[in-house]
């Protein structure tokens, strides 16, 4: 995209430029206006207006308004009051800063759109100087380095007066006017507006649990917990089929209890169930949902990679479990970064990344659980099933959910997960089949164990 020339007279010109356009590219475009043009407002990479001047022509003083997205640098009991107080006596006699919009933010708690009026151009404020001035007032200016990402960043002091802000720093020149210069004004960018709206939506989500439907059940789901997906229905169906004669089921990483409660409901009370999670809020929510539905389940607050530990084992069923189900975090850090970059995390659910990201490979949780169960099996074999009894029954099934991905109909992650599980369990967990949904998409894998 090319800049749009807003106004030109004598030795001054004002243009609206695309976000992320570098000073070099902007000056290359300015050369089409004639020789000798230079940047007077620098080139913030968040878009907005740019002031250009002809070096050979005397230019009048120009005033402008910078827009910035800021948050308090430290946690404050009254963040909006703090921001207004910080800007009340801001700057010198020719500068004024004010909060023009304040929102509750899903990621930062409180966020404000601030306007700073100051001289722009020769002897005036540059974008980086505006950012540094906010920092001196105790406010951090946000960066949006990529779509769907945001962070509060402190800028370092510029080594040169003309040095620009870091790419994506939320500062835009939104208006300019001066002697003989008509007022040029533009609203904040669409990207900023979209970000602010998404942060408000996220904050609203986090203020209250939402109700979600899964397998005909109405479940309360805390905002940071994983919301049940239709992709998990195939796992419930597979578990119900395995438990049609009764038995005991263990849900690892139970969250709000979606898998566990749907299996209990589907087996009409012939199955006892336990939900285990490391997150206290998840365990509390699972209990609350079970009570709402009139279903009896046991809940355990523990790490699912420590099932065989002396602290955890006594809290589990003494006779072990016939079926174990688990929908673990299975994204790699690179997958999550790619997801954020492509669709953005701000417009979706408020789920915490800990419910989605396993680690660098995405296989870490599968491997940790499999290693734990293998240790339990080996210990049980050595003591010939003498007390203490193992987590697992004499024979049973393990169901893992997997990510179908874009090629789920012809081979997604199921094969990779199966290989990782069998290797981590030293072959003690035997791969049986891929679990598919009604559309033939890969949704899980079924493994078996038995004492020999």
Provide the residue count of the chain. Answer: 452
Contacts with 128 (C-beta within 8 Å, 6 or more apart), sequence order: 42, 155, 158, 163, 164, 165
- Give the pLDDT confidence score for residue 66 in this predicted structure: 93
Residues 180 and 300 in one domain: no
What is the separation, in whole angstroms, between the first and last Cα of the chain? 69
CB 293 within 8 A of CB 214: no
Q: Is residue 48 part of a domain?
A: no
Q: Is residue 34 part of a domain?
A: no
Residues 163 and 240 in one domain: no
Q: Is residue 12 part of a domain?
A: no
Residue ending a domain, choose from 202, 224, 253: 202
Could you write out the DSSP letters of every residue in 104-146?
EETTTEEEEEEEEEEEESTTSB-HHHHHHHHHHTTEEEEE--S
Q: Is residue 31 part of a domain?
A: no
Give the chain's domain count: 2
Which structural domain, as residue segments, surrounds residue 254?
Answer: 208-450
Task: Give the whole-angstrom CA distance, residue 326 versus residue 284.
Answer: 18
Task: Give the whole-angstrom CA distance, residue 263 versus residue 257.
Answer: 10
Task: Give the whole-angstrom CA distance, residue 162 versus residue 152.
Answer: 23
CB 335 within 8 A of CB 360: no
Tokens describing residue 276? 């285990």
CB 120 within 8 A of CB 51: yes
Residues 259 and 282 in one domain: yes
- Give the pLDDT confidence score for residue 447 in this predicted structure: 95
- Give the pLDDT confidence score for residue 295 in this predicted structure: 93
Q: Is residue 7 part of a domain?
A: no
- Give the pLDDT confidence score for residue 150 in this predicted structure: 57
Task: Give the whole-angstrom CA distance, residue 61 versus residue 124.
Answer: 9
Tell me phi and psi for residue 205, to 5 degrees: -60, -40
Task: Give the whole-angstrom CA distance, residue 114 versus residue 97.
Answer: 7
Residues 84 and 220 in one domain: no
Residues 223 and 301 in one domain: yes
- Give the pLDDT confidence score for residue 281 in this predicted structure: 87
452 residues of the chain, pLDDT tens digit each: 789 999 888 788 899 988 778 888 888 999 888 888 888 887 777 788 988 888 888 877 788 999 999 999 888 889 999 999 999 888 777 889 999 999 998 778 889 999 999 988 767 788 888 899 999 999 999 988 654 455 654 444 433 444 577 878 899 999 998 777 788 999 998 889 988 998 888 777 666 567 889 999 999 887 677 888 899 999 999 999 999 989 999 999 999 999 999 999 999 878 999 999 998 989 999 999 999 999 999 999 999 888 888 899 889 988 889 999 999 988 888 877 766 654 444 334 456 667 777 788 889 999 999 999 988 888 777 665 555 555 666 678 999 999 886 556 666 789 999 999 999 999 999 999 999 998 888 999 999 987 65
Task: Give the whole-angstrom CA distance, residue 161 versus residue 58.
Answer: 20
């Amino acid at each position: 995209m090319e800049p749009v020339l807003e106004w030109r007279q004598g030795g001054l010109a004002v243009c609206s430029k695309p976000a992320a356009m570098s000073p070099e590219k902007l000056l290359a475009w300015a050369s089409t206006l004639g020789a000798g043009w230079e940047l007077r407002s620098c080139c913030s990479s968040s878009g907005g207006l740019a002031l250009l001047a002809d070096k050979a022509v005397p230019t009048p003083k120009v005033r402008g308004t910078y827009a910035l997205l800021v948050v308090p640098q430290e946690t404050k009991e009254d963040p909006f009051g703090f921001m207004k107080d910080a800007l009340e006596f801001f700057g010198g006699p020719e500068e004024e800063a004010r909060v023009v919009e304040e929102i509750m933010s899903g990621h930062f708690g409180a966020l404000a759109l601030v306007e700073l009026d100051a001289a722009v151009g020769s002897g005036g404020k540059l974008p980086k100087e505006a950012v540094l001035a906010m920092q001196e007032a105790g406010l951090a200016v946000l960066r949006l380095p990529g779509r769907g990402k945001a962070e509060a960043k402190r800028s370092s002091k510029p080594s040169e007066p003309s040095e620009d802000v870091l790419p994506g720093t939320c500062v835009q020149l939104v208006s300019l006017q001066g002697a003989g210069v008509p007022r040029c004004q533009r609203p904040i960018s669409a990207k900023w507006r979209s970000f602010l709206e998404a942060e408000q939506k996220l904050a609203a989500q986090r203020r209250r649990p939402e109700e979600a439907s899964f397998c005909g059940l109405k479940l309360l789901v805390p905002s940071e917990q994983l919301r049940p997906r239709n992709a998990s229905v195939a796992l419930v169906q597979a578990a119900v089929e395995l438990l049609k004669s009764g038995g005991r089921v263990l849900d690892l990483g139970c969250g709000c209890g979606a898998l566990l409660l749907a299996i209990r409901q589907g087996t009409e009370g012939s199955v006892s169930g336990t939900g285990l999670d490391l997150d206290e809020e998840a365990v509390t929510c699972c209990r609350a949902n079970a009570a709402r539905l009139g279903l009896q389940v046991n809940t355990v607050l523990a790490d699912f990679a420590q099932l065989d530990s002396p602290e955890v084992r006594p809290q589990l069923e003494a006779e072990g479990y016939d079926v174990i189900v688990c929908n673990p975090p299975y994204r790699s850090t690179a997958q999550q970064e790619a997801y954020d970059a492509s669709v953005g995390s701000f417009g979706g659910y408020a789920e915490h990344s800990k419910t989605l990201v396993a680690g660098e490979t995405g296989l870490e949780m599968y491997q940790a659980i499999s290693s734990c169960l293998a240790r339990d099996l080996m210990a049980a074999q050595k003591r010939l099933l003498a007390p203490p009894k193992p987590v697992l029954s004499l024979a049973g099934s393990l169901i893992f959910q997997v990510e179908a991905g874009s090629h789920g109909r012809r081979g997604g992650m199921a094969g990779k997960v199966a290989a990782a599980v069998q290797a981590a369990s030293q072959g003690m967990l035997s791969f049986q089949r891929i679990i598919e949904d009604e559309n033939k998409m890969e949704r899980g894998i079924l493994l078996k164990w038995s004492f020999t």
